[in-house]
Structure 1
Amino acid sequence: MNRRPSRSQPRQVAHSAGGVIYRREGPTIYVALIATGGGTRWGLPKGHVFEGETPAAAAQREIEEETGLRGSVLRPLETIEYWFHAGRARIHKFVDLFLLRYEGGTIVPQEAEVDDARWFPLDEAIARATFPRERAVLKRVRAMAEAGELP
């Protein structure tokens, strides 16, 4: 998956944003994950950044669209980048991930793009996350929580 494209393949760049939306119940921190791939892949909600839209605004919008949850952006967490195929083209994708504090809404998966959406205790979310880079971001959030850095 991390192979560089050959010179003969058309290349494109894609930009998405999303992140970790969290809430507290007593000492427990919950984060929302989405399922795709027929419910076989669990990950962070994210999606396309529109022209003229900031990545932070796109993260808020995409999280709300995919999960039904509204949150306030607290800080950027990380930018993940990777390559993938779309038809004959190779896509170089950048995903800006943010930390958001839950402000409201009821968890409802977006029917068109998401198979499921659920709250998970942070440790369970780390164990369930399919993609290693997203697991690393969730571990970073856990370290922030342990250090008292989550409001």
Structure 2
Amino acid sequence: MNDPLFTRTLLAWFAKNQRPLPWRKEYHPYHVWISEIMGQQTQMERVVTYFNNWIRQFPDIPTLAAASEQEVIKAWEGLGYYSRVRNIRKAADILVQEYGAKLPDDESQLLALPGIGPYTAAAILSIAFNRAAPLLDANVERILCRLDDIDQPVKQTTTRKLLLQRCSDLLPQDDARNFNQALMEFGALVCTPKKPACLTCPLQQHCLSYARDIVDLRPIPGKKEKRIDISMACGIIQRGNLFYIQQRLEKDVWGGLWEFPGGRIKEGESPEQAAVREIIEETEFQVTNLRPFATVVHHYTKYRVTLEAFFCTLQDNQLVEPVLHAASQYKWVTFNELSAFAFPAGHRQLIEQMD
């Protein structure tokens, strides 16, 4: 049931404390959509930077639809989860062809667009169009579990149904935009995962977990996903002042991005042996003169990837055209030209160290 005092208190807090995020200036549906997709698995500070750069490059849906896939992937470089940006690009095409380059305000039509699931559709409806669609993100889950002292794992199906219903019950029909944002903002700034500001919390009187002194025990997490370590090696092949790069196949992880050839280190292999083997398997190049260059570590979902890189050159009398077995195309480029291509995080770190 809606609690008028809770709603008034939360909205008053939001009016005074909300962050000046760029998509809040006009609540343009296109801006809301892009910010929501960028915000998945990404810290807000990074989202703001990427969002501003994106809107400068693609100010509207027709401009985005007219851009090449490589342009949009390059603009996304560093945010990861690249299927998101490919879906944005596909959705922009559909919006231009079928919706007059505008986002629809209908849930079923939004859900039919690539990359838009129930949460993103609800976010667009409530934040862009001020429609009464409840939103349940990690911040809201945490707040509600603490407010109601919910003592079951937060990601459990029955818990999520309970929380979604609670969101719906609390949601004011005429101010969904501000209420949903207020809940998420409150979780980001006040009711935080660690060291929440309980003593100064304006919602303190509504919180069962605070009254029972168990705030640090809520929400109850699910099973923690085990991290998987992966060791990889790659070769930075030089030919004079040129470097060899290749574009990953569309179906691959990081599909469409560019890379230096390489792959996983097999059991019993040294990193150097793995780099040579992977180069042969992927390009049929024979390389020589391997020199250790750098080791970088990056994270992807549940994986921690350690990548060891080696400078190398083609053996004498080698043709400079590869036989591609794991890429869609290749290029020989100068160091300065590398900045024009989108690379996975580990390879981009290598390029930064080459400077």
TM-score, scaled to structure 2 = 0.33
In structure 2, relative to structure 1, the CA distance for the partners of 1:139 and 1:65 (3 Å cut) is same
What is the CA–CA distance in structure 2 between the aligned matches of 1:61 and 1:50, rounded to whole Å? 10
Structure 1 residue 98: Cα displacement = 0.6
Structure 1 residue 121: Cα displacement = 2.6
For structure 2, list consecutive stretches of 5 or more residues without a partner in the other structure.
Answer: 1-40, 44-221
What is the CA–CA distance in structure 2 between the aligned matches of 1:99 and 1:78, rounded to whole Å? 9
Percent identity of equivalent pairs = 25
The answer to whether residue 336 in structure 2 is matched with residue 123 in structure 1 is yes
In structure 2, relative to structure 1, the CA distance for the partners of 1:126 and 1:62 (3 Å cut) is farther
For structure 1, list consecutive stretches of 5 or more residues without a partner in the other structure.
Answer: 144-151
Structure 1 residue 138: Cα displacement = 3.3
Residue in 2 aligned with 1:50? 266
What is the CA–CA distance in structure 1 between the aligned matches of 2:345 and 2:299, rounded to whole Å? 15
- 2:343 match: secondary structure: coil
| Aligned-CA RMSD value | 2.6
The answer to whether residue 244 in structure 2 is matched with residue 32 in structure 1 is yes
In structure 2, relative to structure 1, the CA distance for the partners of 1:118 and 1:108 (3 Å cut) is farther
In structure 2, relative to structure 1, the CA distance for the partners of 1:11 and 1:133 (3 Å cut) is closer
Residue in 1 aligned with 2:231? 15
In structure 2, relative to structure 1, the CA distance for the partners of 1:56 and 1:43 (3 Å cut) is same
Correspondence list, 1:1-151, <5 A = 8-24=224-240, 29-38=241-250, 40-85=256-301, 90-103=302-315, 104-105=318-319, 106-110=321-325, 113-131=326-344, 133-138=346-351, 140-141=353-354
- 1:115 match: secondary structure: strand
Structure 1 residue 137: Cα displacement = 2.5
In structure 2, relative to structure 1, the CA distance for the partners of 1:65 and 1:76 (3 Å cut) is same
Greater share of residues in helix: 2
Contact 1:2 1:83 in 2 (8 A): no
What is the CA–CA distance in structure 1 between the aligned matches of 2:233 and 2:274, rounded to whole Å? 6
Relative contact order, CA 8 A, sep 6+: which one is greater? 1
Structure 1 residue 70: Cα displacement = 1.7
Greater share of residues in strand: 1
Given residue 248 of structure 2, which amino acid in structure 1 is its aligned partner?
T
Structure 1 residue 122: Cα displacement = 2.8
Structure 1 window deviating more from structure 2 (68-77 vs 45-54): it is 68-77
Residue in 2 aligned with 1:147? none
Structure 1 residue 129: Cα displacement = 4.3
- 1:18 match: secondary structure: strand
Structure 1 residue 123: Cα displacement = 2.1
TM-score, scaled to structure 1 = 0.72
What is the CA–CA distance in structure 1 between the aligned matches of 2:279 and 2:349, rounded to whole Å? 19
What is the CA–CA distance in structure 2 between the aligned matches of 1:82 and 1:135, rounded to whole Å? 10
Aligned length: 130
Contact 1:34 1:66 in 2 (8 A): no
What is the CA–CA distance in structure 2 between the aligned matches of 1:49 and 1:75, rounded to whole Å? 17
What is the CA–CA distance in structure 1 between the aligned matches of 2:235 and 2:223, rounded to whole Å? 33
What is the CA–CA distance in structure 1 between the aligned matches of 2:230 and 2:344, rounded to whole Å? 18
Contact 1:42 1:130 in 2 (8 A): yes
